[in-house]
Structure formats: structure tokens, C-alpha cells
Structure 1
Amino acid sequence: MLKRTRKHIKQLKRSITQSLNTPGRPTLPQDELNIIERIRKAAAANNQNNITRTQAYFNFYQNHPEVHWALLAHLVSRNAGWNMTDLKGEYLPKLLTDQEQVDFFAFLERGNWLIFQDAYPQLLLYEESKKQKRPLFHLLDPLNISKFMKPFWENMWSNERKEELTIALIINEQQYIEKRVIHNTHYKNKVLDTIMFKLQDVLDFNHILIPYTTPLQQKTKLVGGTVHHFSSVEDRITLGKGLYDLLFSVQSRLTQTVKWAETNPHTGSRKDYWPDLFNDVKESTPGQVHELKSSPCSLQVKASRIYSPSLPSVWKDWEHNKAEPGDWYPNKKMFHFVKQPIKQLSGDIEKTYCETIEELEMAAFTKNTFFHKK
């Protein structure tokens, strides 16, 4: 991990301030205009749905493993897809109305879409810089990327500051969706302030799971973390930094995580990482709540698996309005996250996640038995 000195932080701040004060945008030569157009088209082509986004992140990481954020984004995006399909899976349809399911999906999808259309062009610009053997980060501005990011990409290019770039991208993307999604009046009223979303928060439903396969047992294990206050940008950034540390701090586990991702393409179904517990075909009796025969973590009794559908089978591609304009960076208080030390996560998530499944089953059973969703 690179040391972030006070002098270095001041230099970063100075670089960003200079870019903020640069008047207008210079006229670009045709070859650079062509680069921008190619990047925009490639980003749009890969931004069709959660499946295409998630795979695009991983493909990029495999070609450019020095950009650590791409692997982290791939794994977090997998979790977004699992949350999307949970809305049509075994338990949540018993707890949410049809409209609440759509509203929740639109909220998750908008955030996933927005982050990709902001971050993926940055990745492609870095790739183009490598091809041309010259930095092209002056093109971040015409690509509508926050001025916050330019010095971090330049430092990555000149000094290979991988950790610093990753943290900057975590901060940037969470700030990018802060007003556009988290504090957007529509999503706030429809999703974040509803009783059911608060119920998910109480149930610790906001887990981020990182699967990996142990070489000897050939068993998929889970590490990860939980954001307890999803509406807090500070909590989301802190979790993102902790997940990054968790992912890259143990080389053997990192290798096993990448291997798992290679051999298990993302479908949106939780069957991808736990086929003994989940299936993309419904096995329980229609109209009945799936009943666990033992703790999900033990699976001592063979029983029907929990329904977890693939994404294309339950959600069509979503039509999005253009991203709202504006640079978040005038909110400079976020800069302290660059210099703050990473809060390490224990990574122990399996037991907590199994308890969440049991709580969801109980909540669905209670709602189905005593209240009956209308």
C-alpha cells in the first residue's frame, strides 16, 4: 500500500483546483474527437444491463490487472445483479408488492447504469493511453468525468499509484450517484424512505459477497462486508475501501477469487456461487413459502433449493434517461477519504448471510400466513 504524505495530498488538491479553474474546453484534434466517440459507443454497447456491465468490468481487469478497481467493480456489480433477481426470487415477492419490486429494481438498475457510464469510459481511456503510449487524460473533461479524477489517473500513469486510483474511483462513483440516485426525490420517496427498504436495512440485507474457491476442498467460500446505512455516502465509501483491502490483501485468495470469476460467468442467479442452496428453477410448491430444513450454512438435510432466477428471465433491459449533468467535486469534504487509513474488515460474512436468509424466510412466512400480500 502506498503512503499518502501530506505533501502529496496538497499536490493532488492543487492539481484538481487548477483543473476546476481552467476556462472552457480547448478545441480537440479530429483523432482525439474520434477517440471520444469510440469510447462513448463502446460504453453504451456494454451498458445494456447488469450482465453486460459486470462482464465488461471483468474483461477489462483480465487485460489490465494493474487497475484493481475493475475487479472490485465486477464483484460489487455481481452483488447488484443478485439483489435485482432476489426481487423476483423465493422470498421478496412475499414481502413486496409488484410495484415495490419494480421501484426497487429501478433504483438498483439506475445506480448500476450510472456508475458504469461514468467509470467505464475512464477505463477505456486508460486502455487507449496504453495503446498510444501517451497519457490522454485531458480527454476526461470532454467525457464529462469529474475533475476530481484527472490527477489520480495521471499519477497512475506516471507512478503506478494503484491503491490511490482505486480509492479515488470508489469515492468518485459513490459521490456520482449521491444526488442522482440516493438523494433523488423519486428514489428517496419510492425506495429509501419506504418501510420495506428499512426492513432490508434491519435484516442486514445489504451484504456484499466475494466468492472464491478453495483449491484443496474445491468448495466455494464467501468473504465480504455489510453496509448498515446505505443512504450514507461515508458508510458506502468506507465499505468500498474495506472490500478493496479484503480483496487484494491476501494474494492466494485473490487468485482463487479471479479463478472463481473465470469459471462462473455472471447470470444474476445466486446459483452461480451456491448451487447446493440456490437454483434458477423454482422447486418449492406454488403459493407456499420455501421452508429451510436446516441452517443454510450446514445443509445437513437435503431439501428443495431456494429459487434464485437468472436476470434475463425476470427483468427486461431498462430504458434510462440521460445522466444528470454536473460535477460533484465542489463538495471537497470528501477528499479526507483519500488520506484516511482503510478500515479493515474481518471478512467473516457466511454466518451473518445465512442468518439473513433465515430471517427472510421467517418474514416471508409470517407475511404470507397472517397478512397475505394484496
Structure 2
Amino acid sequence: MDHRLTPEHEELRRTVEEFAHDVVAPKIGEFYEHHEFPYEIVREMGRMGLFGLPFPEEYGGMGGDYLALGIALEELARVDSSVAITLEAGVSLGAMPVHRFGTEEQKRTWLPRLCSGEILGAFGLTEPECGSDAGGTRTTARLDEATGEWVINGTKCFITNSGTEITGLVTVTAVTGRTEDGKPLISSIIVPSGTPGFTVAPPYSKVGWNASDTRELSFSDVRVPAANLLGEQGRGYAQFLRILDEGRIAISALATGLAQGCVDESLAYARTRRAFGRPIGTNQAIQFKIADMEMRAHTARLAWRDAASRLVHGEPFKKEAALAKLYSSEIAVDNARDATQIHGGYGFMNEYPVARMWRDAKILEIGEGTSEVQRMLIARELGLAG
């Protein structure tokens, strides 16, 4: 399978690469250090059309595909992961559920503003007592027949893009009924920001991704119209499984970008840092370490592009997405560790990008499904029931 980029995709890659180096790189360190959301950078990403990359033009999108999204995420993450995860969550978790499962009215109401970056969307799935066990959702939503409204109660945690000044909606998964044998029926419901009873907590104090927005959300008798149901009632579990399958490709692209960024920074440092009278890049130990880092990043790129290509062509991609996410997230941690080691004491200083990369890498093995969950999915796709 040929994973070389088309001229259009290569032009996109170069455009985002230039934006990342000329706009993001000079400014993001200060945002990161002060735990501030980079509104100016995000607005520029919106003007570039990045939030609309995989969506049809009729809804304000760029008419591209998931490969285009992955290319943009990889190039952004080579410089900074906070900006990259803002785009990833805004597209694959915020807007994609509306695109995949929304009614025509919901699409025309929300997608143009989401595609332009005027507003951000969030995906309220994870809860304090059920992380990987998303089927154990405790948030509830009951339909008040008298008013024609959903009444939502519960708590969500670790939700990206949920509390910014431009957050427009959160799609919430909630139990809306039970099967005859007592199993929960989970549905997805759109909750606009500012709805009474919808409370957004202060930002988390995080190890990494410090220039991105992550919060806990609470819902106390939150009422939204019955028409805010996204897709079929009781199909929310299947919906978010599809969204997570796609999202793993996006996270893999982001992780690949971080891994490649570690190579970029290590190469530049090895060529200029002198020890014992010569550049440290002339030492075979450093050369081999960087060669291994490049090998990992290259392989991860092939993996996520293969999964994206299968998605774009309508082929099964669940296993390939899990493989790509598992491998790329783990090698991102490896490359971040090695890049820090190459930089020595300077790698522990926040003024160097590799310090951010080291802090940002670990969450990639957790978010969008832990490494353990990916191995479980791969085993199931191989026919190993358990």
C-alpha cells in the first residue's frame, strides 16, 4: 500500500508545518508555563480551516478526509501537543459525533460554527468511577414527557475543550433506560454551553498539555429539548465506540508528531552541543539513539496512515487503529525519554521543547483508550475471545 502523500496533502502538510514553526513555536512556551489557553493561535487555526478539514463543504468544512486531519495533527504535535490536542478533540470528539450521527437540523445548526473554529465542541464520556469501563456510565437522562425535555444528572471528568470561552457544546453520554435484563441503554445528548444546571469546574492542574483546556463537568437537573438527542436513543454506546475508533487514528498521528519532534530537537542539539572538544552527535552512542528514535517515528507514521487510509476507503479499520494508537503512544514515550537523556540537564529545563514533550507524552498511553485496552481490542480482532 502506497502511503506517499498526494500533492494536495503535501501542500497541507507544508502549510501546517510553516504555521507550527512560525506561529506556534515562538509563543506556546509562555502559554504552557502559565497554564493559559492559546486563544489567538486557535483562532488562526480556525481561519486556516483546520477545524473543518474532514467535513463536507456544505456544512462549512474543507471537504478533506481523515488523512488530512492526521497530517495536520502530526505537524502541530512536532512543535506542541497542547495545540494539537485542542484540534484533535475539537474535530474528532467535538464535531465528528454531530457529523456522523446528527440530524440535518443538528448539522446545519452546529457544524458551520465548529468547522470555522468559532466555537469548540467537547465529548462528555469519561466519569470519575468508570474510565476504561465506559459501559458503566452513571450519568442519567430521563425524558420529561410533559415538557418534551431531557433531564440530565451526573458528572464527567477529564473533558477536553469543555470550559473555554469559545466552547459551544458538550455531547454527553447518559443512561436513558434499561433493557429487560437490566442492562443500561446509553444515549448521546447535545448540551449547549451555559445551559442552567450545567457546571464547569476550574481547569485541572495537569502534568502536561498545560496549554489545553481539561475540566470536570457536573449536571444537576439540566434540561435540554428532546430534539438534542444525537442519533438513536439507546445507541450512544455504539456511537462512541465508533468515535473512539476514529479518534485513535488521530491520537496516533499526534503521538507520531511528538515522536518526530523529539527527533528534530535531538538532531539540532546533537549538532551544536559540544563535549570533550566535539559535537556530541559525533559519538556513536548518540547517533544510535537518534537512529532508533527516527525508526520508531517512521514506523508509527506508516501505522496511522494505514489505518486512516482504510477509514477513508470504507474498509474495516478497528484493529489497525488500535495497533497504530498502541505503538505510536508507546514510542512517543520512548522518544521523549531518549530526547531528554540526549539533552542532559537542559532536557529537564522547561525552556527546552523536549521538556514539554516529556511531560506531554505519558497521557498518550492513557487517553482514547489505555494501552491495555488497545491490546484487548487487538486480541479480540484476532479472534481471541475472553
TM bin, normalised by shorter chain, reads under 0.3
Structure with bigger RCO (C-alpha 8 Å, 6+ apart): 1
- TM-score, normalised on structure 2? 0.23
More strand by share: 2
- TM-score, normalised on structure 1? 0.24
